[in-house]
Amino acid sequence: MKRILVVRNDKIGDFMLAWPSFAMLKGSMACHVTALVPAYTAPLARLCPWIDEVIIDPGVRADKLAQRALLAQIKAAVFDAAICLFSNSRNAMLMWQARIPYRLAPATKLAQVLYNQRVVQRRSRSQKPESEYNLELIRRFLADQQVAVVEPLTPFLRFADETLLQVREQLAAKLKLDVGRPWLMVHAGSGGSANNLSIAQYARIIIKLNKAYPALQCVLTAGPGEEQMAEQLAAELLAHGGNGWIYRSNDGLPMFCQVLANAALFIAGSTGPLHIAGALDVPTVGFFPMRRSATPLRWRPLNSEGRHLAFSPPEESDHLEDMSQLDPESIVPAIANWVKQVWPQGV
């Protein structure tokens, strides 16, 4: 059985968009798959059913002792192949130093000379979703192994119904929510990955959606360091006659995923939680700048067809990263019209 190292050692959203690649790889051939990830995405990697083992990358800022230990760990695993879904000079050097026989990566950076297998992609042009760029590399690897491709299916992340019901009941008791009403979850934080809406814009969208769908209860999710933003949004809602219950994600990423799986609708900017919700196939609404490297096409979540709606500044604008151009007055009717297809039975 081939031992394969798959490298995606960057941010949470990027890692979630690699899940179809893990699914295709493991679903198409008998192999042992190890993921090289940073510590903060390791809990997600351990949830992935197509990953057999996780190696934690201490990161570029780790000391020389930690870097040598990482190289020694990779060498000791005796991998047959390495597939770098995320490539930079450090990753390229690491795979080369580990003397992995088959080393595949995008042929888009100077570091490509250290790989012996390459795929030309031009990711900077953002002509495809990131998940598709990842899958191109897996298809190339499978073709080289003369293995037929088995296409992956959504949802990529799932939990048992009884687990989700237990989490729902616990959260309802903790936040004083009605367990039987649908939950609108909104994540106003961005982690600095892309420009986002303002607190005022989010508040207006939530209030207008609540008027259109009075049964919705709004849960404001917040990761570490994002609590103040959620509190500001809750205060803004209260000042305008609305309400928002704050869920602080202090119980780890697996629990956060289970909470998101209970959402009837998830709204956020282009950030990790949006991609977790997409992997769960929770209906998602995302806000994206139109900068080439951050477009809604490039960072489209993993939702199945029809279960994601994206908004961006108009393409003809002179300020493609100015999210203030997104007007809740036009956004909410578009969301309301879309959710009629997502919730054909109503809410």
**Residue 299 — very low, low, confident or very high, per pLDDT cuts 50/70/90?**
very high
* Crossing angle for the helix pair 89-97 and 64-77, to the nearest 10 degrees: 50
- Look at residue 89 and give its three-state secondary structure: helix
Answer yes or no: is pLDDT of 234 > 70. Answer: yes
Do 249 and 112 lie in one domain? The reply is no
Please report whether residue 153 resides in a domain.
Answer: no
Instruction: Provide, for the chain, the percentages of residues in helix, strand and coil under a 3-state DSSP scheme, each rounded to the nearest 5.
Output: 45, 15, 40
156 within domain boundaries: no
266 strand-pairing partners = 185, 284
Residue 284 has pLDDT above 80, yes or no: yes
The answer to whether position 134 is within a domain reads: yes
**Residue after which a domain boundary falls, among 88, 117, 144:** 144
Q: Model pTM? A: 0.96
Cα dihedral 247, 251, 257, 261 sign: negative
Q: What is the pLDDT of residue 193?
A: 61
- CA–CA separation, 289 vs 296, rounded Å? 8
**Domain finish residue from 110, 144, 178:** 144
Q: Are residues 49 and 177 in the same domain?
A: no
- The CATH number of whichever domain residue 16 belongs to comes to 3.40.50.2000
Helix-helix angle 130-144:19-28, to 10 degrees: 20
The confidence score (pLDDT) of residue 137 equals: 98
Do 107 and 198 have their domain in common?
A: no
Whether residue 77 lies inside any domain: the answer is yes
Confidence category of residue 308, pLDDT binned at 50, 70, 90 = very high
What whole-number distance in Å separates Cα of residue 225 and Cα of residue 193?
Answer: 14
The reported pLDDT for the residue numbered 109 is 73
Claim to verify: residue 106 and residue 47 sit in the same structural domain: yes
Express each pLDDT in 30-41 by its tens digit. 999 999 999 999
- The dihedral region occupied by 184, where left means phi > 0, alpha psi between -120 and 50, and beta the remainder, is beta
Cross-sheet strand order for the sheet of 245-248: 245-248, 217-222, 183-187, 265-269, 284-287, 308-311
In this structure, is residue 151 part of a structural domain? no
Mean pLDDT computed over 206-229: 95
Question: What pLDDT is attached to residue 194?
Answer: 67
Is 43 found in the same domain as 177? no
| Look-up of token digits 């190289």 | 71
Q: How many domains does the chain have?
A: 2
Residue at 179 is within a domain: yes
Three-state secondary structure readout of 287-298: ECCCCHHHCCCC
Residue 260, domain member (yes or no): yes
In contact, 146 and 29? CB cutoff 8 Å: no
Reported confidence tier of residue 346, pLDDT bands at 50, 70, 90: low
**Would you put residue 268 in left (φ > 0), alpha (ψ -120 to 50) or beta?**
beta
Question: Is the same domain home to 13 and 136?
Answer: yes
- CA-nearest of 106, 114, 92, 7 to 55 is 7
Q: Are residues 114 and 201 in the same domain?
A: no
| Domain-terminating residue out of 118, 144, 170 | 144
Question: In this predicted structure, which of 7-11, 310-314, 340-344 has the lowest mean pLDDT?
Answer: 340-344
Shared domain for 201 and 336, answered yes or no, is yes
Q: Is the pLDDT of residue 23 over 80?
A: yes
Are 208 and 63 contained in the same domain? no
- Whether 75 shows a pLDDT value over 70: the answer reads yes
Q: Residue 1 — very low, low, confident or very high, per pLDDT cuts 50/70/90? A: confident
Do 83 and 213 lie in a common domain? Answer: no
Q: Give pLDDT, residue 125.
A: 86
Sequential DSSP letters for 239-258: HTT---EEEE--S-HHHHHH
Look at residue 157 and tell me whether its pLDDT is greater than 90: yes
Q: Say yes or no: 282 and 230 in one domain.
A: yes
**Residue 199 confidence (pLDDT):** 96
Give the pLDDT band (50/70/90) at residue 288.
very high
Q: Report how far apart, in Å, the C-alpha atoms of 5 and of each of 73, 75, 94 are.
A: 12, 11, 12
Answer whether residue 298 shows pLDDT above 90: yes
Q: Indicate if 51 and 171 belong to the same structural domain.
A: no
* Residue 64 falls inside a structural domain: yes
Which DSSP letter does residue 318 get? S
- For residue 37, what are the domain limits? 2-144
Does residue 192 surpass a pLDDT of 70? Answer: no
